[in-house]
Structures are given as structure tokens and as C-alpha cells.
């Protein structure tokens, strides 16, 4: 497979990415944290391609990016007050919440009863999700590899494994999102990242 890199600020590039996603393919694109590798969140064959391209263990969960709050209804069974407070405060931004998932979602997204969801604060990621819908997304690197901050980082690790990279320059954040488990009334921080723990606790106080 030949990997093509296109400028993310060209509408034709966005159209190419959307077409690939609709065809069940995977696409790399910039977010506010690191570059992501995305597939249709409701299409198991596309999600499988995410695992294959990264060399990732299929038992690991895949988070989903959304483009607006209405898309939550497509993914979430329920959200408690803590989850709602956090998304109102930190979305769009570098926070992934883990909440009870709808039972009709592909099991490949997560083998359990919950799912990680984020709304990225980046115009390209937002546009893709707004126009396409929820996108299953993981970092655009080989499993265990360095976090990709630009298109070259992605190409160096995933060349000939993915069809398209949208080049949006350097990611402004460079640090993966903070992951917070909101499945119970007492939150748990599963991964420290872009949003500080003290800011999370302040938002819930």
C-alpha cells in the first residue's frame, strides 16, 4: 500500500479522507494532542485495520472522537453528573471520558461495557467528525512507538500501512489526552495527560 500525504487545509484533502472513511479505510489526521489514526466507529472491518496498521493488541480498547454533543447519543448508554460536568468544562479539548457504552456498538471498540469518548479541540479533527460522524481513533504510531506530533512522525512509523495522512503541521499539544473513568460516581484517572488532575477535581467540586 502506498501512503499519500495531503495538506489538511485543502477541502479536496478532507473530501479524500471522508471518502476513504466511508469505504472502510483508515486515515491519519492532526488533533489538539497528537496525530490520530481513525476509522468508522460503527464498522468492524475498518477498526480491525486500525489494530493491524499499528500492530496493536486487539484486546485494547479504542476511543472515539466526536464532532458535536449530539453524537454522544450514538455511543453512550448513560452519563452521570460528573461526566457531564467534565465535558461541559473541557470539551473540545484534551480529555477522554470513559462512560457506559451502547450495546449495539462493535465489540472491537471495547470488550467491556464502557467506551472512551473525546471531542478534540482541532479544526481538522472537528471537521472530519462533524461531516462523517463518530470516528474510532487511536494515536497514529506503531504500538509502543513515539507519539506522532507531525505528519513526518506518522509517515516514518506507518508508511505503506495506511492510505492517507492529512498534514496539518505540528500538533499544538503534543501530549495525549487525560483519560477519566466516569462509569461510577467516584471518578478514576486512568491516564494522566493534557488536562491536569487538579483542574479536573476543581471542575467537580
Which residue segment(s) compose the domain that 46 sits in? 4-204
Question: What pLDDT shows up at residue 111?
Answer: 83
**Bridge partner residues of 6 (DSSP):** 166
CATH code for position 20: 3.90.870.10
Supply the pLDDT for residue 77.
Answer: 86
The pLDDT tens digits of the residues spanning 1-46 come to: 999 999 999 999 999 999 999 999 999 999 999 999 999 999 999 9
* pLDDT digit string, tens, across residues 43-70: 999 999 999 999 998 888 999 999 999 9
Cβ partners under 8 Å of residue 26, min gap 6: 20, 37, 38, 39, 46, 49, 50, 53, 162, 163
Average pLDDT over residues 125-132: 98
The C-alpha atoms of residue 155 and residue 37 are separated, in whole angstroms, by 12
Residue ranges of E strands in 102-205: 114-118, 135-139, 164-167, 178-181, 188-191
| Start-to-end C-alpha separation, the chain | 51
Neighbour count for residue 56 (Cβ, 10 Å): 18
- Alpha helices for 10-80 (secondary structure H): 11-22, 44-54
On average, the pLDDT of the chain sits at 96
As for how many domains the chain has, the answer is 1
Among 27, 59, 60, 18, CA closest to 46: 27
**pTM as predicted:** 0.96
User: Which pLDDT band holds residue 158 (cuts at 50, 70, 90)?
Assistant: very high
Amino acid at each position: 500500500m502506498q501512503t499519500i500525504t495531503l495538506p489538511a487545509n485543502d477541502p479536496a484533502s478532507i473530501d479524500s479522507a471522508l471518502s476513504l472513511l466511508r469505504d472502510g479505510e483508515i486515515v491519519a489526521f492532526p488533533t489538539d494532542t497528537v496525530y490520530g489514526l481513525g476509522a468508522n466507529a460503527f464498522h468492524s472491518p475498518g477498526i480491525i485495520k486500525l489494530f493491524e496498521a499499528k500492530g496493536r493488541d486487539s484486546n485494547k480498547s479504542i476511543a472515539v472522537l466526536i464532532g458535536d454533543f449530539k453524537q454522544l447519543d450514538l455511543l453512550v448508554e448513560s452519563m452521570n453528573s460528573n461526566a457531564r460536568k467534565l465535558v461541559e468544562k473541557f470539551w473540545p479539548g484534551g480529555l477522554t471520558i470513559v462512560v457506559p457504552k451502547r450495546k449495539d456498538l462493535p465489540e472491537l471498540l471495547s470488550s467491556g461495557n464502557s467506551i472512551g469518548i473525546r471531542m478534540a479541540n482541532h479544526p481538522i479533527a472537528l471537521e472530519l467528525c462533524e461531516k462523517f460522524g463518530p470516528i474510532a481513533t487511536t494515536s497514529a504510531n506503531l504500538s509502543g512507538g513515539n507519539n506522532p506530533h507531525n505528519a513526518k512522525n506518522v509517515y516514518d512509523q506507518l508508511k505503506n500501512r495506511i492510505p492517507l495522512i492529512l498534514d496539518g503541521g505540528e500538533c499544538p499539544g503534543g501530549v495525549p489526552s487525560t483519560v477519566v473513568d466516569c462509569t461510577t460516581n467516584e471518578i478514576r484517572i486512568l491516564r494522566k495527560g493534557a488536562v491536569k488532575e487538579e483542574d479536573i477535581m476543581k471542575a467537580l467540586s
